[in-house]
Amino acid sequence: MKIIVNRERFSGGLQQLTNIVLLRPALAILGGILIEVADDHLTMTTTNGDCSICCTVAASVVGGGKIVVNVRKLASIVRALSCHDVEIEFSSSGGKQLKISGGGSVFHLPTIAADEFPSIPAMDIAAAIRLNPSLLLSLIRRISYAQSTDEHRQILNGVYFSFANGRLTLVATDGRRLALTHQEVSDGEGKFIVPGCAISELERLLSGGKEVAIAFNARQASFYVDYGSDATSLKPVGVHMICKVIEGTFPNYEQVIPATTESRIQISRELFCEAIQRVALVAGGMNPCIRLRFSENLLELSASSTEYGEAYERMALRYGAEQATEISFNPRYLAEPLRSLDVDEIAFEFRDQWNASVIRHCDNFLCVVMPLRVG
């Protein structure tokens, strides 16, 4: 087996794979990368047992075969080479080493037999749901910050995907806030929960893609990102991620969304977000708190802590109120949904200091935020 591949293309492909590999895997094979060749392509696969990524890059190939080497060491070597093309050679009769050379550098890496590499579940991409990657990336970024990281609430440690009635709905919640967005799609029926670690990888893989194909069943979800077949491109031809889904039933999120709210204001998303972040600079402690006070045509923001002092800011807005309403929030829970959007204005809906408030944009995004109970 002999491979000649553009160094930048090879390094970029390896970079797509290394994030899911454990730093100290229980088995050496889980720290490895499976290298396979076919026709004019080099295919590389890594797995941590729960998530697998397979990346295909264009290359000049002589012969066939497959082998496993340590992925982090291979990636660091390729990144350090100062050459245009990298040459890779392996012969089963030449000792159990992979030869990597480029410019005046030559490396020999120990290998592991490919038949020891875990088998990757097959998914039917031909019948997959196909979307624009930049659209899916935008939807995920609107809600992914709301996932739970509590190991005792596994069902919330991911993003809920629901394809139904020509619509894709994405939901994430940690019990203190809930973010939801949806988009009209041409086909697809079914639902699944993608773990947070896989969501982080998916966000990275979707960038720059031409098309993403989504397939799923009761145990796993598959995302194939096609980057196009331009031979001059330094990007991979495609990347395929397969992950285990979180088993169980996602909570009934619709009952969390307030059916009615007494007050609704339209406010500049950017100015509101900046004001929250400024005032929150003095909101210290494990449970930071910012107070919003709504009165006639005025919003006042304030925060204080014994360690950092006090902050106060005011914003004019269109709001008619018979009496003022003051509500306290964790500032991060307000700022994160505002940062996730790229719109000029949002609607902020509220009732009182005890009930959930809602950040909305049009009819395809909302974030329910629970207030803080303060004395």
254-291 pLDDT tens trace: 999 998 888 999 999 999 999 999 999 999 878 899 99
Mean of the per-residue pLDDT values of the chain: 91
Give the pLDDT confidence score for residue 62 in this predicted structure.
87
Strand order from edge to edge, sheet including 345-350: 190-195, 158-164, 167-173, 177-184, 365-369, 357-361, 345-350, 263-268
Give the pLDDT confidence score for residue 375 in this predicted structure.
62
Give the pLDDT confidence score for residue 234 in this predicted structure.
67
User: Would you tell me how many other CB atoms lie within 10 Å of the CB of residue 52?
Assistant: 23
Rounded to two decimals, what is the model's pTM? 0.92
Q: Is the pLDDT of residue 349 over 80?
A: yes
The set of residues, in sequence order, having a beta carbon less than 8 Å from that of 287 and lying 6+ positions away, is 330, 372
Give the pLDDT confidence score for residue 121 in this predicted structure.
81
Q: Which residues of 141-152 are buried (b: 16+ CB within 10 A; e: fewer)?
A: bbbbbbbbeeee
Q: Is the pLDDT of residue 225 over 90?
A: yes
Q: Which residues of 61-90 are buried (b: 16+ CB within 10 A; e: fewer)?
A: beeeebbbbbbbebbebbeebeeebbebbb
Which of 284 and 154 is assigned the larger pLDDT? 154
Q: Is the pLDDT of residue 167 over 80?
A: yes
Q: Is the pLDDT of residue 126 over 90?
A: no
Q: Is the CB of residue 50 less than 8 Å from the CB of residue 120?
A: no
Task: Say how far apart CA 211 and CA 199 lie, in whole Å.
Answer: 17
Task: Say how far apart CA 181 and CA 176 lie, in whole Å.
Answer: 17
The set of residues, in sequence order, having a beta carbon less than 8 Å from that of 144 and lying 6+ positions away, is 159, 172, 196, 199, 203
Which runs of consecutive H residues, i.e. helices, occur in the chain? 7-18, 71-80, 133-143, 196-206, 269-279, 331-340
Report pLDDT digits (tens) over 70-92.
999 999 999 999 999 999 998 76
Q: Is the CB of residue 112 less than 8 Å from the CB of residue 69?
A: yes
pLDDT band (50, 70, 90) for residue 122: confident
pLDDT band (50, 70, 90) for residue 187: confident
Give the pLDDT confidence score for residue 322 in this predicted structure.
78
User: Would you tell me how many other CB atoms lie within 10 Å of the CB of residue 16?
Assistant: 22
In the predicted model, what is the mean pLDDT of residues 350-369?
94
Q: What percent of the chain has pLDDT over 70?
A: 97
Give the pLDDT confidence score for residue 261 in this predicted structure.
87
Q: Is the pLDDT of residue 31 over 60?
A: yes
Q: In order of start, what are the domains of the chain with their CATH numbers? A: 2-116 (3.10.150.10), 127-253 (3.10.150.10), 257-369 (3.10.150.10)
Q: What are the beta bridge partners of residue 170?
A: 161, 181
Supply the Cα-derived Rg of the chain in whole angstroms: 25
Q: Is the CB of residue 220 less than 8 Å from the CB of residue 244?
A: yes
Give the pLDDT confidence score for residue 93 in this predicted structure.
61
